[in-house]
Structure 1
Amino acid sequence: MASLGQIIFCSMMVIIVIAATIIIIILSFAFTGSSEALSLNRFPIGNISRDVSLSCYLNRDVIASVSRVSVTWEKVGVGLVYQFQDNTPSLDNQDPQFRGRIQVSTRDLIEGNATMLLTDVRRSDEGTYKCSIRSSGGGGDININLRTAAFSAPTFTLMGDALTAAVNRWFPRPNVTWLDQEDQILQANTNLTEDSGGIFSVVSTLQPVNTSSSYSFRIENNLVLALARVALNDSGVDATTAFTLSAAPPRVSSTSLIFVTGVACLLQMT
């Protein structure tokens, strides 16, 4: 039986956690910048060696009265990525790692859209980018947290009763799962190879398979999930792949934190 002191202690701990969560939420809103600067995706994922768009634009009310737009993109802890002022790009102080890799539409800028295309994404591009946009109608700042990954669609080969999936680009290290038509996990032989750049290639073979059945192939990490639906028939393999990108960085939710705190208290009281 828990004592009154233990009950009071647990109650105080839960209240503290709730209060801390509320403070974190308030601070997160406070430091995302003015509401006049917006983004379609504050946690984009860039596919290594491909291009990624970092969204930043003025809200609709400000756009109605835009003129004399100036924009600065910076990577926190690195330096200048892109700058536009006096109706022209100003790139004299641009950090060398971004030279020749940034595309921003001047026409869109004049209309209050500072969305930036970063080409040929590298692992080193991961980090926080600050977009500062100003105009005669107002302006603001917003942080975009770019995460980097490598991902590509699997290709499938059927030889006899063996179905093989091959994926040539994946990062971070992925997990692979085969499923049958009832979504039951199947055993397969999977090999991962890491190249000098830390990118993984995957070869996974499922055997035996029924050549008149369908299967699912999942390859995933904390950033990207690829789910392929594979149908086998007399003519071979018919596969379609859908990608799902993580909407936000993995973190312990406030609900989980409160739950864990409550469980810890209950264990102490038993």
Structure 2
Amino acid sequence: MAGPSQPVLATLGADVVLSCQLEPAADVTESTMEWSRSDLSPRFVHLRRDGMEFLVNQHPLYVGRTYLSPGRLKQGDLSLRLSSVRLSDQGTYRCDVPGKASVEVHLHVGGAPATVAVSAEAGQSRGGVLLGCESAGWYPEPELLWLDAEGKPVSAGPSQTHRGPDGLYAISSRVTVEKRTSNTLSCRVQQSNISQSRTAEFSFKVEESKDPSGSAARVTAVLVLAAAVIVWFSCFFGWWKLKATSRSDEKPKKEEEEEEFPKQTTGMEDLEEKQRLAEDLKESQEEEKDLVGVIEMLKKLEKELVKSGKNKKSELQEVERKMEENHKELQKGSRKFQKMKAEKKAFILEEQQELDGKKKDLEKFLQLTEDRAEEVKKTIEVITRQRDGAGADRVEVQSENLDQ
């Protein structure tokens, strides 16, 4: 009697053939033969007596699921077809023709689901992006691996396994991966005993705009520049105003000198005086032109501060929205990954703490930006008002001098 030299592997739900061949081959259609399992009671899986199916004592687990081919029995082939394989079918079977020969066949049963699910669990943490992977319907117990884009293993915590009432295993795992512009990670669940594996790939992008650290540096630079420009321009405008005032004082002083020391002026002296006044007017116009350019620069700086403030408001709203989502998640709990519920809660709490810190930083930056923008705006108003007044006085004085 010949049977398979290696254990037979069957897949859950499929059909399997347990081989058994009489040697030398002989017709056993009229013989008594049986398939049995010693660990069952009754032990009969399939029974024939005197050429007839005798299934009265067949074990209930196999009713309607076993078949022997009459045509093959004529050739001494006693192979048993077992349909709709179950976990309970795993075991050692005995093919026996009483008085002739017998052989044992070992049946292993395995199962693998059609898919593996990978998803982002709770957004982003300080260390990166948290991913979860789960797969159910395995037998025997499988193993789970995380792989990077190059197929190299990624370090992760221990997997969680659970065996359900149906005897099948469910496995799940979580991993935190670095924040990058883009990343690809695969979750592979495999069972080497049954040569089965399932893989799911997860690709994601980390939006750098959500991280306020980069924009914070830019806003800080703008704020420092604004403060420096305000200080510098205050000094510049003080000097410009002092110079304009000194020019306006020249006429009264000269008149006093002429009253004290009257003299007769010539035509040549009048021409020189007019040339000097023309040069002073040109110099004043150039200084005013520079002043207008600085005011324009301040206006651009004010615009940049207002824009930065709007961006900070948007980031602050996004942080507040995420904090509200996490709060709701903590309130309702999660029915998914029950054995990892405590770990997930700890992650959400950690993220909440991080978001709270970001919120405080954004509020601080926003307030500082608004204050600097207001300072720049007031500076522009004061400088413009004083420039217009000083310019009018200077033009009046110079016009009078030219008329003389």
When normalised by structure 1's length, the TM-score is 0.54
Following TM superposition, by how much is the alpha carbon of 1:43 offset from its aligned partner in structure 2, in angstroms?
1.4
| SS across alignment from 1:186 | coil
1:121 to 85, 97, 121: 85
SS of 1:124's equivalent in the other structure is: helix
SS in 2 for 1:185: coil
CA spacing shift, 1:212–1:69, aligned 2, 3 Å: farther
Write the distance in 2 (CA, Å) between the matches of 1:226 and 1:67: 38
Deviations 1:3-35 (A, max 9, x none): xxxxxxxxxxxxxxxxxxxxxxxxxxxxxxxxx
Query: Helix, strand or coil: the match of 2:102?
Result: strand
In the alignment, does 2:162 pair up with 1:201? no
> How many pairs does the alignment contain?
191
Counterpart in 2 of 1:171? Answer: 139
Q: Write the deviation string for residues 99-120 of structure 1: whole angstroms up to 9, x where unpaired.
A: 2221222222222222212234
Equivalent residue, structure 1, for 2:335:
none
Match of 1:148 among 90, 102, 109: 109
TM-score (normalizing by structure 2): 0.39
- In structure 1, what is the equivalent of residue 330 of structure 2? none
Which of 184, 188, 196 is matched with 1:217 structurally? Answer: 188
Match of residue 75 from structure 1: 37
Cα deviation code 1:79-133 (max 9, x no counterpart):
1111224333122222233222212222222222222122343443332211014
When residues 195 and 146 of structure 1 are mapped into structure 2, their CA distance, relative to the original with a 3 A threshold, is: same
Structure with greater strand percent:
1
CA contact (8 A) 2:28 2:73 kept: no
1:22-33 map, 5 Å: none
- Max Rg structure: 2
Pick closer, same or farther for the CA change 1:52–1:165 going to 2, 3 Å: farther
Letter paired with 1:101: R
Q: How far has the Cα of 1:158 moved from its partner?
A: 6.6
Q: Structure 1 residue 192 and structure 2 residue 161: aligned?
A: yes
- Cα deviation per residue 1:168-220 (whole Å; 9 max; x = unaligned)? 21133322112346553213475434322332223445664997868572423
The CA RMSD over aligned residues, in Å, is 3.7
CA distance in structure 1 between the partners assigned to 2:130 and 2:167 by the alignment: 29
Q: 1:117–1:45: structure 2 CA closer, same or farther, 3 Å change rule?
A: same
Taking the aligned partners of 1:206 and 1:95, their CA distance within structure 2 comes to 47
Q: Is the CA contact 1:41–1:54 (under 8 Å) kept in the aligned structure 2?
A: no
Distance 1:109 1:198, change over 3 A: same
> Using the alignment, how far apart are the partners of 2:198 and 2:39 within structure 1?
39
Q: Which has the higher contact order (CA 8 A, sep 6+)?
A: 1
**Structure 2 CA distance for partners of 1:72 and 1:122, relative to 1, 3 Å:** same
Q: How far, CA to CA, are the matches of 1:183 and 1:212 in structure 2? A: 13
Post-superposition Cα deviations, 1:228-269, rounded to whole Å, max 9, x if no partner, equal 4667789xxxxxxxxxxxxxxxxxxxxxxxxxxxxxxxxxxx
One-letter amino acid of the structure 2 residue matched with residue 226 of structure 1: Q
CA distance in 2, matches of 1:69, 1:212: 68
Matched letter for residue 116 of structure 2 = T
State, as a whole percentage, how many aligned pairs show the same letter.
Answer: 23
2:3 to 36, 39, 55: 39
Equivalent residues of 1:177, 1:217 under 8 A apart: yes
Aligned residue identity for 1:56: C
Query: Secondary structure in 2 aligned to 1:76?
Result: coil
Higher mean displacement: 210-219 or 97-106? 210-219
The aligned amino acid for 1:53 is V
- Structure 1 counterpart SS, 2:76: coil
CA contact (8 A) 1:192 1:202 kept: yes
User: How far off is 1:46 after superposition?
Assistant: 3.6
Matched residue type, 1:199: L
- Structure with bigger helix share is 2
The unaligned stretches of length 5 or more in structure 1 are: 1-36, 235-270
